Amino acid sequence: MELKGIHHLSAITANAKENLDFYTKVLGLRLVKKTVNQDDTSVYHLFYGDERGNPGTELTFFEIPMAAPNKPGTSSISATSLRVPNNEALQYWKQRLDDHGVQHEEIAYRAGRSTLAFTDFEGQRLILVSDENNEGVEGGRPWERASVPQKYGVTGLGPIRLTVRKAESTVHVLTEVMGFRKKSTYPSHEDGQPDIIVFETGKGGSGAEVHIEERPDLPFERQGRGGVHHVAFRVEDRAALDEWIQHITNAGLPNSGFVERYYFKSLYFREPNGILFEIATDGPGFDGDEDINHLGESLALPPYLENKREQIEASLKPLNYKPEQL
């Protein structure tokens, strides 16, 4: 049993329209699915990714309109990385972020790679990571109709940083239960703080890393808009997921059991510091209920919600997404 890498990451926004504009028009991601939160169908769940929304490229957002601002702290997913092809792409992105008035840091070296940290309009903490010399999990292919030239486009999710009060317990679950391997360490950007520890799974590389930052000095994070809800890791199919469900249960970790999400199948559980993990299958994918050329243009609902379509659509504000306007 081995996890293949990062599957997707789900964050929180208070404004689906502004979120859509930022992630498609500024970051050049493709909206691959406009659907609803299956646990609260009154709000949007937006999925962004590469040209098909391949596993490992999906950044998703739950819209919670009244969400207060996120209060950073421990027991959190404190940074989300996005892979770009090379160092040249980082130079392009630095200028693009300036052109769009996006706050960012300078290009810096983290864990052996050139990176560029920035925040979105709600304070979502993001880091562009160069794949200049990456070996490991393959990236995706940016959409050719995106607002960013394909040669500079985001190719998927990169390392995910977890900030915790006690690293030991999270490390135990990552290595002894989930099969991650310790790879390296690198200095924290915060003076006097312990080095950040890098773990990898599967083929390794930027698409299969979790970085652990121990910060006992911080308060617990209060999740809100600009925060991250959970991170998901990849398995091949339902048979592999069933093995993981049994494995996680045998390890004594309370979990959701099997959950049907239609576009993939899942298991949810929390690691000891309270961060929500998901294990998700690579398929079926996002083109089973929409033509590949028109992903995200209409409200998509899994079959078990279709009988509530009229009620669901009445509760949502139209987004009027038109890819040709990117």
The alpha carbon of 224 is separated from its chain's Cα centroid by a whole number of angstroms, namely: 16
Q: Where are the domains of the chain?
A: 6-325
- Give buried/exposed letters for 204-242 (b at 16+ CB in 10 A, else e): bbbbbbbbbbbbeebeebebbbbbbbbbbbbbeeeebbe
CATH 3.40.390.10 fits 6-325, yes or no: no
Judge whether 127 and 110 are in contact, CB under 8 Å: yes
pLDDT tens series, the chain, 326 aa: 999 999 999 999 999 999 999 999 999 999 999 999 999 999 999 999 999 999 999 999 999 999 999 999 999 999 999 999 999 999 999 999 999 999 999 999 999 999 999 999 999 999 999 999 888 999 999 999 999 999 999 999 999 999 999 999 999 999 999 999 999 999 998 888 999 999 999 999 999 999 999 999 999 999 999 999 999 999 999 999 999 999 999 999 999 999 999 999 999 999 999 999 999 999 999 999 999 999 999 999 999 999 999 999 999 999 977 776 66
pTM for this model (two decimals): 0.96
The count of other CB atoms within 10 Å of the CB of residue 243 is: 12
Helix/strand/coil percentages in the chain, nearest 5: 20, 35, 45
Judge whether 211 and 111 are in contact, CB under 8 Å: yes
Of the chain, the end-to-end C-alpha distance in Å amounts to 42
Judge whether 266 and 232 are in contact, CB under 8 Å: yes
Judged by DSSP in three states, 245 sits in helix
The count of other CB atoms within 10 Å of the CB of residue 160 is: 21
